[in-house]
Structure 1
Amino acid sequence: MELNFFIERVTIMAGMVYIAHQAPPSAIKRWIEEQGLFQNVTEFEKDILEKSEIEVTPTEIMRLKWYVESLWALVWVLGINNNFRINEPVGDNLIQMVPDVRKKQDFSTLVARTFMRSEKKIYEQVDLFYRLHWYLVDARLNGKKHNKLDEGTIMERRKALEWVVTPGEEWDEIDLST
């Protein structure tokens, strides 16, 4: 896949995160359309972009809030984020790493400062996050709690990494079974 494909996904997801933090879906839809990216949004995202602010459900908002974890992984893949560690939260600087809706930035702001990490490094992370996800699911199913790792965080970061190495797979169709 070409670099722009991943940059476009990051851009769309960055816009969707704004909806999770009370931006009007119509404004985000317009921003995405102005960049010629609307054809790349998922069905889930389209449904939200067609709603008014009051029609977006709390469940949809929560799902969009989880996007930051996937974004954190994707900006690592694109070489923008060098602080991608399993037990660290998303950095406060994520907003500076992605196109800013408020400044009407488009995805071209990412092109000059990105590169794809090596396949080897990406696959190492995919393997690590798969194993961590499996471990946390197993622990949960056996009534154990892990105090340092959050299953949702690991799962969302894994989703992004799996998507990168699964060409042609739709974002919402990534298999996260363990």
Structure 2
Amino acid sequence: MILTGIIDTAFDEDRKEIVSWLKEINLWTGVSNSEKEYLKKKSLTKEDKIAASWRTEAVNVLFWSLGMVDILNEPIEECNLTKAHEGTKGKYGSLNNFIGQSEIRSTEEILDQTDLIYRILWAIRDARLNNRPYPNGYNPSIVYERHYALNWITCYQEDWDDITTDT
């Protein structure tokens, strides 16, 4: 839910309202240091907004892991922004409702996706290092966000800001 608020600011949602909402649903303490810095910035640059909007791909994975998104398509085309976080504030209202409507996928499903995205990321990095086109039309930005989210889910034992996507 925190990331959906961050993403909303990329599309001009008022950051003060997002901070108030996160405090209201008792999630402010879970907001990472870099997210707090972002939300408290005097003004956002175009680059800030682009980086925040890319988090939609991470949210898509997180929502998939909670059973709120049916499938993860090939990491070629960006996910539907509305589908990945459609009205989270209005749809779930409270953190308890959000948790209550979640159904965590099996460890096997999550680890299968983690393994797949790791292999795809390796293939992309290998292609980049050897000046070859990316295999299967994979979008490296989507792959990065998915890898980031899956590493966080699979207990890299790090805060969100400290996750790595090494291969």
Fold conserved between structures, TM > 0.5: yes
- Give the Cα separation in 1 of the matches to 2:62 and 2:4: 11
Asked if the contact 1:14–1:99 (Cα under 8 Å) also holds between the matched residues in 2, the reply is yes
For 1:156, which of 127, 145, 161 is the aligned residue?
A: 145
Give, in whole Å, the separation in 2 of the partners of 1:89 and 1:151. 11
Q: Which residue of 2 aligns with 1:72?
A: 60
Distance 1:164 1:104 in 2: 21
Following the alignment from structure 1 to structure 2, what is the Cα–Cα distance between the partners of residues 137 and 42?
A: 28
Equivalent-residue separation in structure 1 for 2:156 and 2:103 (angstroms): 17
Identity of aligned residues (%): 28
Residue segments in structure 2 that go unaligned for 5+ positions in a row = none
Does structure 1 residue 93 correspond to structure 2 residue 83? yes
Runs of 4+ aligned structure 1 residues displaced above 6 Å come to none
Task: Map Cα deviations across residues 58-85 of structure 1 (whole Å, 9 max, x no partner).
Answer: 2221211111000000111001111212
Residues 5-57 of structure 1 show CA distances to partners (whole Å, capped at 9, x for unaligned) of: xxxxxx100111111101121111111111111111111110122124xx112
Q: Distance in 1 between matches of 2:5 and 2:162?
A: 20
Supply the distance in 1 between the matched residues of 2:140 and 2:29 (Cα, whole angstroms). 31
Q: In structure 2, do the counterparts of structure 1 residues 160 and 104 end up closer, same or farther at CA, with 3 Å as the change threshold?
A: closer
1:77-111 Cα distance to aligned partner (Å, 9 max, x none): 00111121224531342233x6226x782333322
The answer as to 2:114 corresponding to 1:126 is yes
Check conservation: 1:86, 1:154, Cα contact below 8 A: no
Partner residue of 1:45 out of 6, 31, 35? 35
- Paired letter, 2:145: E
* Contact 2:156/2:163 (<8 A) preserved: no
What is the TM-score when the length of structure 1 is the normalising length? 0.84
1:103-131 CA-partner distances (Å, limit 9, x unpaired): 78233332222111111111111110011
One of 107, 122, 127 as aligned partner of 2:95:
107
Paired residue total? 164
TM-score normalised by length of structure 2: 0.89
Distance, in Å, in 2 between the alignment partners of 1:138 and 1:72 is 26
- For 1:5, the equivalent position in structure 2 comes to none
Pairwise CA RMSD of aligned residues?
Answer: 1.9
1: CA distance, partners of 2:97 / 2:17? 19
Counterpart position of 2:158: 169
Tell me if structure 2 keeps the 8 A contact 1:70–1:157.
Answer: yes
